[in-house]
């Protein structure tokens, strides 16, 4: 960049890290936010920059006109006035990934997909570390990539690449790029399903002969976007370079591990393990390190995590499931279930949840999307609406029979009742323990 001002649209964790890095490098920064939080105001004061609060459309246009580039906060809707202003003015829009790539040359192993990103990223990092390669997780996590590159310790970065960041990236090119799967999501941010697909596919837009692309060969959308250059590696439960065969995970011609040795071995978990193995080995991990990490892997919180059991009924926290695709995978993994679903819809059709109705004994609908959940399952299985998580847990427990699972797998975001999916999952866990006894 030539030194002109960089406009930060939104001033939360990521853009606060961007501002600090730009200022350290002598750049000029202007920040604006529709509704800045108190900590954002304090951070702006500490950095010595002005933070424009709640600008109207005319003010956004003026800010864009004065800026060299625009860096939107991840998750800023494509229909936001600042995006329209940038398009009208021809002002380039870039992401934190672009800046991190300009500032640091260490390898990046990037993972995108509608579901499973966080799990696969954490598994890859564990495999790299078990292989003696210092790795840091960054991106769509608590640590933005622009912040992570300040640490000289990691030899490589394992990047959770959301559509929010990829869709605005102009030069980001990871050495290894994996696309796990595709299903409707984030239509409250992207203008259409096609725009969401394009954002995901941009992971591979800048591959070259040295790039390695990890492709879910069983997902037609992902497979159709596979690059024509560089090395392409496929994974799948039955077919692919990395696959399950004869009760074992295989890396091309080498048997890695029997599935019986894994602590998490449901189909979607095996797919995650295959994808992580493909990414890690492309990034330099060795077979022994991959095996060690697979054996030790116990999963992440709020992903089909067993909370407790009473009278033959198991209670699972799958609060991270915020799409119908993820809900279906969870239901298939636990068997007959009383499903707790709902929350704040992200603009997507909840109808695909009906695909697993044969494994759903009944549904407890929660949150803003409760009426939508009811419509999906009406006439197919019993549906009740709960006004709180405590009510939902009690109602689900009353409906469950021995051998069933009570499954919190919402298919929606948490921001109607909670500040995050983790807060929602923690409250569910608390309510379950109060119901069945014991402690979290």
Is the pTM of the predicted complex or chain greater than 0.95?
no
Check if CATH label 3.10.580.10 holds for domain 97-296. no
* Separation CA 374–CA 371 (nearest Å): 5
**Rounded to 10 degrees, what is the CA torsion of 356, 359, 361, 365?**
-30
For 324-337, what is the mean pLDDT?
96
Where in the chain are the domains?
5-93, 97-296, 305-436
Note the pLDDT tens digit of each residue in 219-254. 999 999 999 999 999 999 999 999 999 999 999 999
- Predicted confidence at residue 282, as pLDDT, reads 98
What are 61-86's pLDDT values in tens digits?
Answer: 999 999 999 999 999 999 999 999 99
4 pLDDT band (50/70/90 cuts)?
A: confident
What is the CATH topology of the domain spanning 305-436? 3.90.190
pLDDT band at 169 (very low <50, low <70, confident <90, very high): very high
Q: Phi first, then psi: give them for residue 424, nearest 5 degrees.
A: -60, -45
What would the mean pLDDT of 269-276 be, rounded to a whole number? 98
Average pLDDT of the chain is 96
**Residue in this structure with the two tokens 């866990």, named with its chain if needed:** 429
Share of the chain above pLDDT 70, in %: 99
pLDDT range class, residue 313, cuts 50, 70, 90: very high
Tokens of 183: 């299903």
Question: Is the predicted pLDDT of residue 439 greater than 80, yes or no?
Answer: no
Q: Are strands 248-251 and 242-245 parallel, antiparallel or unpaired?
A: antiparallel
Average pLDDT on 177-200 reads 97
- Is a pLDDT exceeding 60 seen at residue 151? yes
Q: Any long-range contacts for 20-29 (C-beta under 8 Å, 24+ apart)? A: 20/47, 21/99, 21/103, 21/146, 21/147, 21/150, 22/99, 23/47, 23/48, 23/49, 25/103, 27/1, 27/3, 28/3, 28/4, 29/5
In CATH, the number for domain 5-93 is 3.40.50.720
Question: Which pLDDT tens digit goes with each residue over 109-150?
Answer: 999 999 999 999 999 999 999 999 999 999 999 999 999 999
């Amino acid at each position: 960049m030539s030194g002109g001002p960089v406009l930060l649209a939104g001033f939360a964790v990521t853009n606060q890290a961007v501002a600090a890095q730009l200022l350290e490098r002598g750049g000029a920064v202007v920040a604006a936010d529709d509704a800045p939080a108190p900590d954002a105001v304090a951070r702006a004061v500490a950095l010595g920059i002005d933070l424009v609060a709640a600008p109207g459309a005319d003010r956004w246009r003026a800010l864009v006109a004065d800026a060299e580039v625009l860096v939107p906060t991840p998750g800023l809707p494509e229909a936001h006035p600042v995006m329209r202003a940038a398009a009208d003015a021809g002002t380039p829009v870039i992401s934190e990934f672009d800046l991190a790539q300009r500032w640091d040359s260490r390898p990046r192993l990037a993972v995108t997909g509608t579901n499973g990103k966080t799990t696969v990223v954490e598994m890859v990092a564990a495999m790299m570390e078990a292989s003696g390669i210092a790795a840091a997780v960054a991106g769509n996590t608590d640590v933005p990539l622009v912040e992570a590159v300040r640490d000289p310790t990691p030899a490589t970065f394992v990047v959770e690449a959301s559509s929010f960041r990829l869709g605005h990236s102009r030069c980001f090119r990871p050495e290894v790029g994996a696309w796990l799967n595709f299903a409707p999501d984030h239509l409250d941010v992207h203008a259409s399903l096609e725009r969401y697909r394009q954002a995901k596919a941009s992971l591979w837009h800048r591959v070259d002969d040295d790039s390695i692309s990890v492709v879910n060969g069983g997902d037609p959308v992902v497979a159709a976007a596979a690059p024509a250059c560089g090395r392409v590696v496929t994974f799948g439960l039955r077919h692919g370079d990395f696959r399950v065969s004869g009760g074992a995970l295989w890396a091309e011609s080498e048997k890695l591990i029997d599935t019986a040795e894994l602590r998490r071995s449901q189909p979607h978990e095996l797919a995650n393990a295959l994808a992580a193995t493909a990414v890690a080995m492309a990034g330099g991990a060795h077979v022994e390190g991959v095996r060690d990490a697979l054996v030790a892997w116990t999963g992440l919180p709020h992903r089909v995590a067993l909370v407790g059991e009473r009278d033959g009924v198991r209670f699972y926290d799958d609060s991270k499931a915020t799409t119908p695709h993820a809900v279906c995978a969870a239901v298939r993994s636990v068997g007959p279930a009383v499903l707790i679903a709902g929350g704040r819809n992200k603009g997507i059709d909840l109808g695909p949840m009906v695909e697993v109705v044969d494994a759903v004994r009944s549904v407890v609908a929660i949150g803003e999307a409760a009426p939508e959940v009811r419509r999906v399952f009406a006439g197919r299985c019993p549906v009740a609406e709960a006004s709180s998580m405590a009510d939902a847990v009690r109602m689900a427990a009353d409906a469950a029979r021995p051998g069933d699972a009570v499954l919190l797998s919402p298919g929606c975001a948490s921001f109607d009742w909670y500040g995050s999916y983790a807060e929602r999952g923690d409250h569910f866990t608390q309510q379950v323990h109060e119901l069945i006894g014991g402690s979290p």
